[in-house]
Structure 1
Amino acid sequence: MDKKEFTVSEVIDSIGISSHTWVVFVILGFAMIFDGYDFMIVNSTNLFVAHTFWPDNANPGALMGSLTTWGLLGMVLGGAVGGILSDKLGRKKTLIMAVMFYGFFTLPQAFANDLAFFAAFRLIAGFGVGSCIPIVTTVFSESMPSKQRGVFVTCGMAFMVVGWVLAGLIANPICNTPTPIIEGFCNQIDYVTADGGTATMYANWRLCYLIGGLPLVYGIILIFVMHETPHWYANAGMLDKACERLTQIEQATRGTSHVYDPALLVVPPRPEKTSPVVLFSNKYIVGTAAIWCTYFVGQFCVYGMNAWIPTWFVGVGYSQADSVMLQTWNNVAAIASNFTVGFVADRIGRKRNLAGSWLFCIVAIVLCSLFVAPNNMGLCIVLMLLFGFALNYAITAVQPLMPETYPTAIRNTGTSWCQAFARFGGSASSIVLGGIAGMAFFQNAAGGTNWSTVVLVLIVPFILGFVCTVLFVKETGGKTMDQLAAEEVDNPVKQNSGGLEFGIMMVVVAILAVLCIVCPLAIPGWSKMPIALPLMAIGLLLPFVYFFVFAGKELAARK
């Protein structure tokens, strides 16, 4: 037995890519596939769900956009609570609870006949989905060698997009089946079409939500195949269990192993406080600004466009089946981007990779706006592949930065609160874009929505993403998790509580929620009011103003 001090990161780095690496990769990969399916199934079925809930309304607008919003709001709550639970109870226990939770509460959505019932269970199921994603990101960051950490974190996110694609591939044939797949359960719907006529369908979309209950089974499997991370054990003071787990990892890889002495294990000091408030202290607020702003932009654009891509192409002249298929191609490109972004981030650095991705997005959205055309499926597939690759590349480029911004004691709290806040952008985007689409400025001569003009609005958040990357992102690539934690501990800045900054941020989030989510849903004709667009713009821009002020002030003080 070596009599030399060591850290968890040093041992994991010395072992390198191992059988343990691939076991973790597969375990978390399946969790993300189920997670992605649960989220995207509502976007892949929303046209059919809308016909069921509002058969007499050919254009439900913001109401239809809210089908996506309820799940995202649940994800906000789940992320906020799940992150704290994960740091307190452990990664394994919290992930198992989250997976089984969203599997169980997806099932009742299959029986919904109105928005209230659907929204209630969508909100509850979203709680589990929101808890799952940041835990997966954190476990990847704590389990992988430092040099390959970015690759595995982003490839892990690719599995979520695999779930998105599966949702489209499963929903398209099921929802478009012209006969009831299960008599009595898949009821007949007579609905009004956009041209004022009527059509008939069967609510086969219900089967898609029954399939969404499969995570219940996977949660049971996780109980037996998943292990807690050594980083969490060490940070929780269970040094013997951390060393035991390191020995198991080495044994599985090399056939032989050291017996690691808990007395020699070096654990970076814990922050004085581990509540979410500390994320806004002067020690962490610049890092918080970096990931909160950029991920907010990514969530707004990804979830907003995924909610409305089918509607966009139906308006262009494509069938519902072709429109959902184009959305699916968009997500296929996302898988390719997720597998690519980590390799580039590990090679050229996190900051340059992310900054370049926002510029790529601007080019992609302009091309889509100019060249999307009816009766040219091949061209539209190419454009969706380009846009899906660019947009998902950008949002995934933020992922490695999340766990690298905070020490172990608040790592999942920081990651999950970042994702929870960003989902306000995702929650608002489907409603905001739906509201914008109903404004006179964005209507074509025939009175329909010119979505090719609406999508150009996304240039504004892309520019904000680029500016925030340049200002706030710190390069973290290639460093071990223990090194990054030590840098923050050694930071000479005297840490304040962050209480005031946290309180102001909660007010900003409340204003955002009221102006961009509550008002469009609660006030009839909101999107037609002259004040609607300016107020929603204020709600969306306030968080950026907040971070420019408080994080900018801290940057100036450090210089």
Structure 2
Amino acid sequence: MPASQPLNVTAFIDRQPLSAFQVSIVVLCFLIVAVDGFDTAAIGFIAPAIRAEWQLTPAQLAPLFGAGLGGLMVGAFLFGPLADRFGRKGVLVLSVLFFGAASLASAWSQDLWMLVLLRFLTGLGLGGAMPNAITLTSEFCPEKRRSFLVTTMFCGFTLGSAFGGLASAGLIDAFGWRSVLVAGGVMPLVLAALLLWLLPESVRYLVLAGKQRERIVATLQKIAPQADLRDATFVVGEQRSTSSPVRHLFRPELLRGTLLFWLTFFMSLLVIYLLSSWLPTLLRTAGHSLRTAALVTTMFQVGGTVGAIALGWLMDRINPHYVLASSYSLAALGIAAVGSVASEPVAAGMAVFLAGFCVSGSQVGANALSASFYPTDCRATGVSWANGVGRMGSVVGSVGGATMLSMGLGMPALFALIGVPALVAGLSMFSLGMVRRQRAVERLAV
């Protein structure tokens, strides 16, 4: 390709059929979020054993759960800007190493507060891993399949959490609760070695940074072996800025979108964590056995996994903003329906599945959409900070259930109230779609 004709790497990747090399990147990022899910869920599975060994009250266990959520929030705010400044691969590998080492060290905790500190550090690494895995996957996927591939990759989190439950049951019985933390530390450390060997750096980042032309050519040749790139010069259609990536989120053309994404993530994760934390208790209040309550609650996770894949497929074919707006709005109806049929196990399971399909599936879709919204120079920061704000919502949801239960509302009114944040998230996505449409019209007019 003549040097006089710069090659836009974004358009180049979009034109190519999906290659085995790109599939391998999706698989590696799938494994990252899977071990992320394992470590995030591990503390919930081992908490009863910790409580029994150290003779703790439920109130004393609360900081243990809060430390992990706090670390996730801080990690999201910290590692996104670092990835935009120094590259996706290095920060991603560092995050995986960090939470693996912290989880492994947690296994040798001598008291509660040592474990709380190490769970915060584990959360710190976890908070950086997931958004950067989303960013890197998005930057290597062709546009026509991007949403589906990103949402499918993200399903690793749910499967990792489920595997954590299965593995924990056997490990705790055989070796004690510390063995779960050992497993949660060893797997990321092994994976980090694979990432160093197999995971490429984002070519969009390399081009924007003006670095390592040979590395760019080698990576693009793995996507399109037939392409002649010997004399090519590369561009991404964007200008690199030397200012802070965080400041970029508030540029005039991004400000409204940033605020709408933050509102969506906050409301979405508030609902998800409120239902995940309190749904078993609410179902027990409705008269179900512990086993039935657990089975019905499981349908929320199952629905979320199916919803993520289905909504990702739809987002590649229909305006993604309106897909998510419709799904979040339907989630509000599904959540409200749980309150009306809470006493009927089958009907409650179906309503919970619908709620999970719509709200959890939409949250995964919102992650994919945020990665496509931001330009390369602040993409990792945009995705990470949206997740960080969302983590604030998760804290509100986790502790807000107790307040709602103390209000003495009936089941229909209680679940209708829980559905309101999902409706707000839907309106936020609809507004973002209108903003993007208006900007497209303005660009066309120019």
Q: Structure 2 length normalisation: TM-score? A: 0.88
Mind listing any 5+ residue stretches in structure 1 that lack a counterpart? Answer: 187-204, 443-449, 478-483, 494-559
CA RMSD, Structure 1 to Structure 2 (Å): 3.1
1:452–1:126: structure 2 CA closer, same or farther, 3 Å change rule? farther
Aligned partner of 1:301 among 268, 271, 292 = 271
Structure 1 residues 155 and 114: CA distance shift in structure 2, 3 A: same
Hey, what's the Cα distance between the residues in 2 that align with 1:106 and 1:263?
44
Shift in Å, 1:367: 1.9
Residue type of the alignment partner of 1:237: G
Supply the distance in 2 between the matched residues of 1:470 and 1:392 (Cα, whole angstroms).
17
User: CA 1:299/1:47 → structure 2, altered by over 3 Å: closer, same or farther?
Assistant: farther
Q: Indicate how the Cα distance of structure 1 residues 264 and 363 shifts in structure 2: closer, same or farther if over 3 A, else same.
A: closer
Shift of 1:407: 1.2
Write the deviation string for residues 21-46 of structure 1: whole angstroms up to 9, x where unpaired.
21111111111110111112234444
The reply on whether 1:282 has 2:252 as its aligned counterpart is yes
Match of 1:21 in 2: 22
Alignment of 1:386-401 (within 5 A): 386-401=354-369
C-alpha distance in structure 1 between counterparts of 2:13 and 2:363, whole Å:
27
Taking the aligned partners of 2:27 and 2:276, their CA distance within structure 1 comes to 26
Q: Which moved more, 1:402-411 or 1:3-12?
A: 3-12
- Equivalent in the alignment of 2:376: 408
Determine the structure 1 residue equivalent to 2:42. Answer: 41
Alignment deviations for residues 172-197 of structure 1 (CA, whole Å, 9 cap, x no partner) = 5666xxxx533xxx4xxxxxxxxxxx
Show CA shifts across 1:320-376 (max 9, x none). 5665454444222221111111111111111110110111111211222222238x4
C-alpha contact (below 8 Å) 1:172/1:321 kept by paired residues? no
1:385 to 2:353 alignment: yes
Give the length in aligned residue pairs. Answer: 442
3-state SS of paired residue (2:253): coil
- Say which SS state the counterpart of residue 6 (structure 2) adopts: coil
Change (3 A) 1:224 1:463: same
Instruction: Give the distance between the partners of 2:155 and 2:86, measured in 1 at CA.
Output: 27
Secondary structure at 2:316 match in 1: helix
Largest Rg, 1 or 2: 1
Code of the residue aligned with 2:147 in structure 1: it is G
Q: Distance in 2 between matches of 1:8 and 1:242?
A: 9
**Are the counterparts in 1 of residues 80 and 382 from structure 2 also a CA contact under 8 Å?**
yes
Among 356, 359, 370, the alignment partner of 2:340 is: 370
Q: Give the TM-score normalised by the residue count of structure 1.
A: 0.72
> 1:167 aligned to 2:164?
yes
Aligned-partner residue type, residue 218 of structure 1: L
Superposed counterparts of 1:104-115, under 5 Å: 104-111=101-108, 115=112
| Cα distance change of structure 1 residues 329 and 54 upon mapping to structure 2, 3 Å threshold | farther
8 A Cα contact 2:336 2:412, kept in partner: no
1:421 corresponding residue in structure 2? 389
8 Å contact 1:270–1:407 — kept in the other structure? Answer: no
Tell me if the contact between 1:329 and 1:384 (Cα under 8 Å) persists in the aligned partners. yes
**After superposition, what is the alpha-carbon deviation per residue over 1:305-329, rounded to whole angstroms, capped at 9, x for unaligned?**
2223344445455565665454444
Q: Does 1:137 align with 2:138?
A: no
Mean CA deviation greater in 69-78 or 309-318? 309-318
1:345 equivalent to 2:345? Answer no
Q: Which residue of 2 aligns with 1:82?
A: 79
Q: Give yes or no for contact 2:324–2:366 (8 Å, CA) kept in 1.
A: yes
The answer as to whether partners of 2:36 and 2:126 remain within 8 angstroms in 1 is: yes
List gaps (5 residues or longer) in structure 2.
none
Separation in structure 1 between the aligned mates of residue 129 and residue 323 of structure 2, nearest angstrom: 26
1:210 to 177, 182, 189: 182
Query: Is 1:10 aligned with 2:11?
Result: yes
Alpha-carbon distance in 2 for matches of 1:382, 1:115: 39
**Contact 1:351/1:475 (CA < 8 Å) preserved in 2?**
no
Could you tell me which amino acid in structure 2 is paired with residue 229 of structure 1? S
Separation in structure 2 between the aligned mates of residue 342 and residue 73 of structure 1, nearest angstrom: 29
| Pair 476,284 (structure 1): closer, same or farther in 2 beyond 3 Å | closer
Alpha-carbon shift at residue 232 of structure 1 (Å): 0.9
